[in-house]
Chain A
Amino acid sequence: MFDQKKIKKEFPIFSRKINGKPLVYLDNASTTQKPECVLDALTNYYSSHNANIHRGIHQLSEESTVAYEAARKRVARFIHARKSDEIIFTKNCTDAINLVAKGFASQIIGKGDEIIISAFEHHSNLVPWQELTKAKKAGLKVVPLAKDLTFDMNAYKRMLSTRTKMVCMTAQSNVLGTVLPIKKIVQEAHKVGAYVLVDGAQSVGHGKTNVQSLGCDFFAFSAHKMLGPTGVGVLYGRYDLLEKMVPVIFGGDMVTIVEQHSAQYQRPPYRFEAGTPNIADVIAFVAALDYLEKIGLDAIHAHEQKLTTYARTRFSEYSGVNIVAPPLEYSGGIVSFIVPSVHPHDVATVFNQEGVAIRSGLHCAEPLVRSLGVDALCRMSFYLYTTQEDIDRAVRALQKTRQIFCRAKT
């Protein structure tokens, strides 16, 4: 049963008031709120098991190690990796992408080669590729937006060639909500022998993910965008490719035999996790995954679709309010909009006065936002605890915004 009212009660933050009004949180693409079970898992870990992993003989260290490695298995199961050794814990999605850029892509890219990304990319899946292609004198190609703000498959196909070594694409735009046809993107890339990294930050907690059926070579995401704690990212990589990837951070835990002047590295994934990892948050992440699967990812997906449809309908009742989005069937649970002659910061400020948290600005995707011909956008992004009443509250905030700003200019 999908009961958001009950779900909401399981997130302590929703007892908070903002400016005297119950919090409506519509900034889930930035980060999500945490259910009680995740907070409990953190407390439980620190109060009953806390110890460093992979190094102690004592009981607490054993318990922590088992729980940490169980988390790796749990994540593997969640995204349908072949085995848990294909899961590397990083500090966030950005960190995971950088690891692929520095540890893997840098090995296979040379002068004149090319990397293809899309115009939808978050800075996290853009700047690492700018840096790498600059350093290697390689080319960075960008698949443009189609007119309807979807992915331009034909343009992409035309860009692919034997020079293409990597294709790095987001599964869902954090600005427009556009869902990209990842499976097809992967198939086309593999035809020319290119490897594919998927930035799953916006997709993975919002619907079922199967990295094997997607066929991608790497898949990166952040725990905090799917009810988990901050400070945990995941890189999935096909094991044979992880064996080719070189570590970029060196130190304890990632080594086997260490002599004074040289060292041997552990096998993947351990060689990519130097130093004490974020043990507590990785373990608490399991509670988030359990919670998401208990509710059901298909149910979450359907719920977000319903909310998106509703929000678009309600917001488009206001003349001039411009929804910047692809056709509904290509959209995830994100609605970006512009109120004419009101700056998005002012919109977000009035929404905040009404207790409604939305994002405004460039959304860490400056080239994309600029290409839409605007200086900034307002964005509402939904999740499993978002209700229709939340959107009604947003509509009221929109009315308020118009009252304040849209009196005729004198």
Chain B
Amino acid sequence: MDLYSEIILDHYRNPHHARLLQKPSVRVKEHNPLCGDTIELDLLIQNDHIENAGFKGTGCAISQASASMLMDMLIGKKVGSVKKLFSKQVIAMLGVPLSPARAKCALLPLVAAKHAILKLNLQ
């Protein structure tokens, strides 16, 4: 199966929520030293729910598509649900075969989201 499926390429060309928020409840930055990619991720929390989310960053098609899909997935969810979100689900969401090196690209947005929740809980 092709790594660069139409869905991945669609998200890459027109990523959803690819902008930072005006007044985020939390903002984090994550870095992948392998490719040099950086992602910034914002969450807006209201009543224990993710009201809005956005990201900014450069990266490969896999990491960008993953970020785009993850934003769609997170918005409207309870804050606590991020803790229960695992790499397996993110990889399944992308729906393409990933080598271990490319899995790192795919998981950077998830790492950022988990980091954001952690930071939020500490605030």
Contact of A248 with B by CB under 8 A: no
B19 CB–A CB distance under 8 Å:
no
Q: Are A405 and B36 in contact (CB under 8 A)?
A: no
Instruction: Provide the bound-state CA to CA distance between A344 and B58, in Å.
Output: 11
- Cβ 8 A contact of B35, one of A344, A370, A405, A410: A344
Residues 1-41 of chain B: 1 if any A CB is under 8 Å from the residue's CB, otherwise 0?
00110000100011000000000000000000111111000
Instruction: Tell me whether B60 is interfacial, beta carbon within 8 Å.
Output: yes
What residues make up the interface of A, taking CB atoms closer than 8 Å to B? Answer: 342-346, 349-350, 353, 360-362, 366, 369-370, 375-376, 404-405, 409-410
Give the distance to chain B from A66, nearest Cβ to Cβ, in Å: 43
Question: Once the chains bind, are B37 and A375 in contact (CB under 8 Å)?
Answer: yes
Q: Is B79 an interface residue (CB 8 A)?
A: no
C-alpha spacing A350/B13, complex, angstroms: 17
Report the interface size class on chain B. 10 to 19
Asked if B76 CB lies within 8 Å of chain A CBs, one says no
**Which residue from A342, A353, A366, A409 sits with its C-beta under 8 Å from B36?**
A366
Q: CB < 8 Å: which of A345, A362, A366, A404 contacts B9?
A: A404
Give the residue name and chain of the A residue nearest to B34 (CB). Answer: A361
CB distance from B4 to the nearest CB of A (A): 5
* B83 CB–A CB distance under 8 Å: no
Q: What A residues does B13 contact at CB under 8 A?
A: 409-410
* A376 engages B35 (CB within 8 Å): yes
CB distance from B5 to the nearest CB of A (A): 11
Q: Are B4 and A343 in contact (CB under 8 A)?
A: no
Cβ contacts under 8 Å, B60 to chain A: 343-346, 349
Are the C-beta atoms of A346 and B36 separated by less than 8 Å? no
Docked complex Cα distance between A350 and B4 (Å): 9
- Mostly helix, strand, loop or mixed at chain A's interface? helix
Q: Told that A345-B62, A345-B105, A376-B37 touch, could you supply 12 new A-B pairs with CB distance under 8 A?
A: A343-B59, A345-B102, A349-B3, A349-B60, A350-B4, A353-B3, A361-B34, A362-B35, A362-B36, A405-B61, A409-B13, A410-B13
A343 and B61 within 8 A (CB): yes
Minimum CB–CB distance from A360 to chain B (whole Å) comes to 7
In the complex with contacts A343-B61, A404-B4, A375-B36 CB distance below 8 A: yes
- Chain B residues near A409 (CB-CB < 8 A): 13-14
B14 contacts A343, CB within 8 Å? no
Tell me which of B35, B58, B59, B102 has the highest count of chain A C-beta atoms within 10 A of its own C-beta. Answer: B35
**Inter-chain contacts of B14 with A (CB < 8 A):** 409-410
- Say how far B65's CB is from chain A's closest CB, in angstroms: 11
Question: Which B residues from 63 to 78 make CB contacts under 8 A with A?
Answer: none
Distance A343 CA – B9 CA, assembled complex (angstroms): 13
B36 & A369 in contact (Cβ 8 Å cutoff): yes
CB closest chain-A residue, reference B3: A349
Distance, CA A30 to CA B4, complexed state (A):
27
Cα separation A343 to B57 with both chains bound (whole Å): 12
Quick check: A345 and B35 within 8 Å, CB to CB? yes
Sample 14 A-B pairs with CB under 8 A, ordered by A number. Answer: A343-B59, A344-B60, A345-B102, A346-B60, A349-B3, A361-B35, A370-B36, A375-B36, A404-B9, A405-B4, A405-B9, A405-B61, A409-B14, A410-B14
A342 to B60, CA, bound (A): 7
Residue in B closest to A376 when the chains form the complex, CB atoms: B36
Interface centre among A345, A360, A361 (most CB of B within 10 A): A345
CA distance A61 to B16 in the complex (A): 67
Chain A residue with minimal CB distance to B59?
A343
Q: How far is the CB of B25 from chain A (nearest CB, A)?
A: 28
* B9, B36, B61 pick with most chain A CB within 10 angstroms: B36
For A369, what are the chain B residues with a Cβ–Cβ distance below 8 Å? Answer: 36
The CA-CA distance from A350 to B102 in the complex, in Å, is 12
A343 lies within 8 A of B35 (CB): yes
Given A343-B61, A405-B61, A410-B13, answer yes or no on A361-B36 (Cβ-Cβ < 8 Å): yes
Q: How far does the alpha carbon of A343 sit from the alpha carbon of B108 in the complex, in Å?
A: 15
Q: Which 8 A-B pairs have the closest CB atoms?
A: A343-B60, A345-B60, A362-B36, A346-B60, A375-B36, A376-B36, A346-B61, A409-B13
CB neighbours (8 Å) of A343 from chain B are: 35, 37, 58-61
Asked if A360 and B35 make an inter-chain contact with CB atoms under 8 angstroms apart, the answer reads: yes
Bound: A301/B49 CA distance, A? 63
